Amino acid sequence: MQSNIGDSSNKFIFTLSSDQRPIDDHVPLQLLKRVLKDISVDDNVAEHTFHGFRHTAVSNLSLALVGHSDLVEALTDYDESDVIRIKQGILGEHTDAQDRWYALSGIMGHLSPERSFEYYNHFATLMATYALSKADITLPERTLYNVTGFTNKKLKENNATVSNSSVSIPSIRTLLFKNIIEGKRKSPKFTVENCDKKLLLSTNTPVTNELFGRYGLNRVQLLLQTYDKEMPLSKAAQLANISIHDAKVLIERASEVAAITTKRGKPRFVKLSDSKNSVLSPLNIQYQSDLRLLSFLLSNAYRLREKSETDWTWFIEICREKLSSSRAYLPFGKEMRKSCSVSLTLVRNCCL
């Protein structure tokens, strides 16, 4: 970066004290990583970049400049004095002026506020949604009737706020919600993770024991497939929208599964990418009917694991010994009669 001020128009702004040549790109990045490592307890702090801080700065400054105080308090550690200082530092005396987005984009070096808002402000949707939830939006009674069919009698029965022949939309929020979902879907069920569930072959209960159910088949498979392409784990996790900590756990577990071999030393559950190296991602499901059964099997597997940990552990041990990438079925001999009842538990209701 060169200076355009006064007599220093041909001099670089960022140089070493002993040299007028521009410093290399890696110098400020190494300094940033060193500083962050010294002040942070985060193991992944070395992966932070200047550009990442730009995104954080735009998001936090937008909250301070135009965000609701509830959001500022919940998402940052700024108090009222911090917000006032930020506003005065960026906007001057007129902190409620209409050019706040332009001031922010100017600091970031963007040509227009649209770029700052669309690509850098990661709180934009949340800010807009929260502002709408707080806004007292009104519609004329006739317009509301044409859209929803709500009569004046029905509005009064549901305690709607009507003033000057206009209806307050927030006052009929419950009525609108009931009208939207009536006969179309059940009310959502809010649940928490069952912390009593155990790992496949362990009696311990780690915090991340339900990662597969939390992220779903497609996202976990995308993580493994991307990682198989020798992409850095941080990038693969970002692409699959999985936290870096959970991604590490999933990769470790997939590696353990991939390391299981047959009696001949071949990978049991995955295929080799070449003559020596195996991949972590499982084989793709070929038939739509098998894909439809998958969610039922997973749900029933959870039930079996909760009902009888002994049967579940036994069944997994059998699968580990008998299943392979070339034989996705279990033979039922006389000595394996127990597997019949366990297998029926897994596939029950799948074909109904």
Which pLDDT score, from 0 to 100, does residue 329 have? 64
| Domain segments of the chain as ranges | 6-47, 50-133, 136-181, 197-283, 288-347
pLDDT at 185: 47
pLDDT at 138: 92
**pLDDT attached to residue 339:** 54
Is 134 within 8 Å of 126 (Cβ atoms)?
no
pLDDT of residue 322: 73
| The pLDDT of residue 281 | 80
pLDDT of residue 67: 86
Q: What global pTM score does this model have? A: 0.41
Please, are residues 52 and 36 in contact by the beta-carbon 8 Å criterion?
A: no
CA distance 130 to 5: 44
pLDDT of residue 200: 39
> Could you give the strand order of the β-sheet that contains 162-163, starting from the edge strand earlier in sequence?
138-140, 166-168, 162-163
Name the stretches of the chain with pLDDT < 70.
1-21, 25, 44-46, 181-210, 212-213, 273-278, 283-295, 324-352
Q: What is d(CA 333, CA 76) in angstroms, rounded to the nearest whole number? A: 62
Phi/psi for 261 (5° steps) reads -120, 165
What pLDDT is recorded for position 143?
A: 92
